[in-house]
Amino acid sequence: MMNRWDDYLRSSLTVLSELQMKLDPVRIESAVALISEALSANRPLLVCGNGGSASDSMHIAGELVGRFLKDRRALKVLALSADSAIVTAWANDVGYDQIFARQVEAYGEAGGVLLAISTSGSSKNILAAAVSAKAKGMKTVALTGEGGGALGQVADILLDVPSKVTPLIQQAHICLYHFICAEVEDRIAAAC
């Protein structure tokens, strides 16, 4: 058991170390700036993902609507996986591939940002949301695994984790979005 735990921790540290070496900090800064500018102008940040990434989208919304580390105004952030009535009704009546695109159509605004999370970068409903966001005049930031998949080709900013292992990618996503939340909050709080 102990060797397996050590191996798992080593794998986690390796992915984080590779992320630090391979992900250009300019891309992270660009994502922070894009999101900060949108939220400062009271434009929406819409966040979507499936499974664990759906939970991550709700986590991000919770941090930014509520507070991460600082007291400041509430921010206009919506996790598109959070409303089970919308998700299940649209999936049942029309199809699962459009559950997020439909909500982007409803809640998206020009100047807003879609934060699309997909470890594979190939989730059809996440891709459809990105296409819908572009049609609304929104920018797209993608959190993915290595290479970004099809989503990486559509996104304005790709933040890809250098791994193909879903749990390791998700762990790195938490580091990325916690950093993004802290930076966005700092900028918004400083402007108030």
Greatest C-alpha distance within the chain: 52
Cβ-contact 64, 184 below 8 angstroms: yes
Model-wide pTM > 0.75: yes
Distance CA 152, CA 118 (A): 10
Q: Sheet containing 157-160: which strands, arranged edge to edge?
A: 77-79, 45-48, 113-118, 139-144, 157-160
> pLDDT tens digit string along 94-111?
999 999 999 999 999 999
> pLDDT tens digit string along 24-48?
999 999 999 999 999 999 999 999 9
Distance CA 92, CA 8 (A): 39
Distance CA 98, CA 148 (A): 20
pLDDT of residue 191: 81
Cβ-contact 128, 101 below 8 angstroms: yes
Q: What angle do CA 179, 181, 184 make, to 5 degrees?
A: 105
- Tokens (6 digits) for 31: 């994502």
Cα-only R_g, the chain: 16
Question: For residue 168, what are the domain limits?
Answer: 2-191
Contacts of 105 (CB under 8 A, 6+ apart): 132, 136
Q: What angle do CA 177, 120, 27 make, to 5 degrees?
A: 40
* CB half-sphere exposure, 12, CA atoms < 13 A: 13
- Sorting pLDDT into bands at 50, 70 and 90, what band is 18? very high
> Structural domain tally of the chain?
1
Give the CATH number of the domain where residue 90 resides: 3.40.50.10490
